[in-house]
Structure 1
Amino acid sequence: MAKGVKYKKMDKSYFESRALKRHAGVWSLWALGVGAVISGHFSGWNLGLASGGWGGMFIATIIVAIMYIGLTQCVAEMSPALPHTGGAYSFARSAMGPWGGFFTGLVENLEFILTPAVIVFFLSHYMAGIFETSPEMLPFWWFGFYSVFTILNIVGVALSFRFTIALTFLALGCLVIFWISSIGNIDFTTFALDIKAGTDGKAEHVSGGGGPFLPMGLIGALKAMPFAVWLFLAIEQLPLAAEESVDPKKDMPKGLTYGIITLIISAFLILWLNASIPLGSYALSQSGEPLLDGFEVLFGNNIAKLLALVASIGLLASFHTIIFAFGRQIYSLSRAGYFPVILSVTHSKRKTPYTALILGSAIGFGVLMITDFLAGDESGVFIGGALLNIAVFSAMLSYILQCGSFILLRKRKPNLERPYRSPFGNFGGWMTIFLAFLIICFQLQDQSYRTAVFIAIGYLVIGLIYFGLKGRHRLILSPEEEFALEHEIREKE
């Protein structure tokens, strides 16, 4: 047994009431990964243009893409070797013990709870514009979206994956239409390079374009990295579907690899084309609906509402898939006793973790309400940016811990069966750790969002105190825990 923790062995009925159903193939996994991220190509990334201009955002996107290539290949190696729903928690548990597993799970939990809150925040602004509702109605939009998509995820895994595939293809189709429509209207120098640094160091508009490639210098590019993360964040959720994948040992690496290739192509196309049409980088940096603004420039305001509906598809895809993710993430930690065990109960017929899904949605909605209240007269862009930064901060911590687990597993468990091996080896893991740490450092440079990061740290400290006082004495021999303990015994023999 692991030191400092207590385990309880549960009977067969415990796991029968927490059973999942296998359904996902490689393209379902691809859709789950791409769908979770794709909203970041519709809204959110553009806020980085105010930090570094177009050139800064371009360099930031290159750096962040390299980090995600390293991350996805580390995860692609670990997931088939440890094919459990726990994902990041499972990797860290086998590499760093129960404390490392719990902390990694807690960090990822924060990321997956807050990411859909950011998405539904932007999505509700789209809906408010379409139906001409007042700002006071936004909480009703939040509640409505959480309710509908939580129910969809509870209804069944087969329906959930079919819906994910459909939404992902629709979202990519929407982006392809935008790219093709933009080609004949681009003027890169005039529109993309229309930002300069003002006397206070903040972004200012350059009328007629022709501004500097790096208006805030290399530092501006580094400050834009947290926003470039939004173009890729959440693809790492795929291992959470391991116990619902038909063949995780073969399909998980393919899903991750195909997914990151798709997202890199889309990220650079949207960065180039959205900023290069008669709208410009400066206007985009202030926008809550950058893709919609781009469509309106291309097709005019007369069909704005139809375009807004089209542009909301990507947000719906990500919102739906990340609700799936936090449901499985809470479920896995609960099944192992790290969270209250009631949260891992699955529906008797649907075999979906309905208690975890309901709680995760309730917390996300509550966070939005509290943030909205505390923000007062602050703009919507600030609220979305604050939540985005907490999600990015927790994601970076999660990546550091996951890649640390990857390196430790290679060192301590060299004989572990690995159906897939990362072509970048330990170098890929260390590179990802360094870049994730660099992004955290530059997040803390931004005074506007520093408080949000400290709030996230406070949440993690409270979680560790809970685990130290109570949680570690209530662990259960779930598949992840039994696997880790079995290998710990083998290492001692």
Structure 2
Amino acid sequence: MEERILSRDNTKETHLVGGIDVHAESQAYLQKRQLRSGTAGWVLLAGLGVSYVVSGDYSGWNFGLAEGGFGGLTIAVVIIAAMYLCLVLGMAELSSALPAAGGGYTFARRALGPWGGFATGTAILIEYSIAPAAIATFIGAYVGSLNILGITDGWWLYLAVYAIFIGIHLCGVGEALKGLFTIAAIALIGLVIFVIAAIGRFDSANLVDIAPGSAAGASDLLPFGYLGIWSAIPFAIWFFLAIEGVPLAAEETADPQRNVPRGIIAAISILMVTCAAVLILATGAGGAASISESGNPLVEALGDTTVAKVVNYIGLAGLVASFFSVIYAYSRQLFALSRAGYLPKVLSVTNSRKVPTLALVVPGVVGFLLSLTGKGALLLNMAVCAAAVSYVLIMLSHIVLRRREPEMHRPYRTPGGSVTTGFALCVAVIAVVGTFLVDVVAALCCLGVFVIFLLYFALFSRHRLVANSPDEEFAALAQAQEDLR
């Protein structure tokens, strides 16, 4: 790799590396961009992982029944659950070897270079910036339907939830993670209550009450045929979407090389159990045809009962948990990209509590404006498309690093190695294509935003990267080791 010193002054040394300009910033620069370390253990990280995803158990997945029926959605869920398990096992290894706030961006930067790192970080940032906007519209609809203190759905409610939860995050990561853990625990209790109540209402005939169509392979179990399985994949993703954000907490975790892998594996284990219980019992209790169009499938499955009302109120906690946690995720991804110079550096400055203020506020403003469209389904499909793209790049990074750097220190190693992550990579590619089958407008909108970010990097920020940011140092260390061979 070509490396040439372009200039040197008292604080910076600029290099040209493979056509990318990098320079070392002063210590004062990095001191203004520090997170509070040692805040979280693996239990809090597991809670963070669950809170990212738990709203998907309460709503969203059920629309997949309208695409594939119970059989099609179930097959899609099995495939996607296997993909996420392999993805998590791969990310557990990567996070133990490269514990930094960049998460997937850090991994891809080491494996795929600046372009691959930025592309991965951008895909994750798009996912996490858009998802809260969609969840905000769901929170508004939920609050309006529950008639809590006469509060109605509207723009001011979206503004309030953004302001309240961004404000809590600004108070400090410890306070935020403990709040997330509490809300996630409440949401899980709601799921336990639902499971107990739904068992008594379960009827296997309800699983296949959608009339078969004329598509190839159509049957009672697959009413929309074989293609319905593929179309249901984006909705199956909703059961696990965003769990990949756990490694973003690495710099704020005590002993991250040990605790991040434990936390993310514990989270996926819990979510696989809740996914299976909700899919089978909600469909069997409420009927596939009925809940396939419901905005509140668990409540509809339980009918007009007292337990349904309890689950309805707790469901709001599930939405809040995911909204709250994804705000954390987008701020850390933006923080890491900004600190390394890929995005405007001012966005990574932290306050007195070691929290990146603008990295919390700026995407919050963008998300609030997106929520005003009221197009929750479109926004969710955009988030799913961006997530699937990031999965492809992260799993490719694992495979590349396994082959190129077999001696890298890995406190945790993925069972099955590249075979495991290779499976996740293949399914993620299928999922990317599947997003176009469900909503081509959403997929094209996502790719349009992605291209805009890449143009920004090509024309501007690739000349302003920070060599001594943690993520760039990981990559520089790898290059130095390669040069010594």
Give TM-score, length-normalised by structure 2: 0.93
Residue 298 of structure 1 and its aligned partner are, at CA, apart by 4.1
- Residue number in structure 2 paired with 1:337: 341
Q: Name the SS of the counterpart of 2:25 in structure 1.
A: coil
> Is contact 1:181–1:298 with CA below 8 Å preserved after alignment?
no
Structure 1 residue 437 and structure 2 residue 429: aligned?
yes
Which runs of at least 4 in structure 1 moved beyond 6 Å after TM superposition? 132-136
- Residue number in structure 1 paired with 2:51: 35
Structure 1 residue 116 and structure 2 residue 132: aligned?
yes
Distance 1:364 1:40 in 2: 19
Superposed counterparts of 1:38-437, under 5 Å: 38-131=54-147, 137-189=153-205, 191-198=206-213, 212-277=220-285, 279-299=286-306, 304=309, 307-348=311-352, 350-369=353-372, 371-372=373-374, 383-437=375-429
User: Given the superposition, is the C-alpha separation of residues 307 and 261 from structure 1 closer, same or farther in structure 2, using an over 3 Å criterion?
Assistant: closer
Matched AA of 2:453: G
> Is contact 2:212–2:222 with CA below 8 Å preserved after alignment?
no
Residue 307 of structure 1 and its aligned partner are, at CA, apart by 4.5
Distance 1:180 1:469 in 2: 57
Structure 1 residue 456 and structure 2 residue 459: aligned?
no
> Is contact 2:134–2:376 with CA below 8 Å preserved after alignment?
yes
Structure 2 alignment gaps of length 5 or more: 4-16
Alignment deviations for residues 310-343 of structure 1 (CA, whole Å, 9 cap, x no partner): 2211111111111110010000000001010111
- Residue number in structure 2 paired with 1:379: none
Distance 2:232 2:295 in 1: 17
Query: Identity over aligned residues, as a percent?
Result: 39
> Is contact 2:231–2:434 with CA below 8 Å preserved after alignment?
yes
> Is contact 2:143–2:151 with CA below 8 Å preserved after alignment?
no
Matched AA of 1:37: V
Structure 1 residue 21 and structure 2 residue 36: aligned?
yes
Distance 2:107 2:483 in 1: 20
Alignment deviations for residues 126-177 of structure 1 (CA, whole Å, 9 cap, x no partner): 0011227999842222111111111111111111111011011111000000
Alignment deviations for residues 45-73 of structure 1 (CA, whole Å, 9 cap, x no partner): 01100001111111111000010011001
Matched AA of 2:476: L
Distance 1:14 1:395 in 2: 31
User: Given the superposition, is the C-alpha separation of residues 405 and 388 from structure 1 closer, same or farther in structure 2, using an over 3 Å criterion?
Assistant: same
Matched AA of 2:365: A
Q: Bigger CA drift: 192-201 or 407-416?
A: 192-201
Residue 409 of structure 1 and its aligned partner are, at CA, apart by 0.8
Q: Name the SS of the counterpart of 1:394 in structure 2.
A: helix
Matched AA of 1:322: V
Matched AA of 2:447: I
- Residue number in structure 2 paired with 1:486: 477
Q: Name the SS of the counterpart of 2:211 in structure 1.
A: strand
Distance 2:215 2:137 in 1: 30
> Is contact 2:136–2:371 with CA below 8 Å preserved after alignment?
no
Distance 2:328 2:148 in 1: 30
Matched AA of 1:458: G
Residue 199 of structure 1 and its aligned partner are, at CA, apart by 6.4
> Is contact 2:140–2:152 with CA below 8 Å preserved after alignment?
no
Residue 295 of structure 1 and its aligned partner are, at CA, apart by 4.2
Residue 224 of structure 1 and its aligned partner are, at CA, apart by 0.4
- Residue number in structure 2 paired with 1:206: none
> Is contact 1:296–1:307 with CA below 8 Å preserved after alignment?
no
Distance 2:477 2:61 in 1: 44
Distance 1:284 1:299 in 2: 19
Q: Name the SS of the counterpart of 2:222 in structure 1.
A: coil
Distance 1:134 1:4 in 2: 59
Distance 2:324 2:166 in 1: 8
Distance 2:253 2:26 in 1: 25
Matched AA of 2:156: F
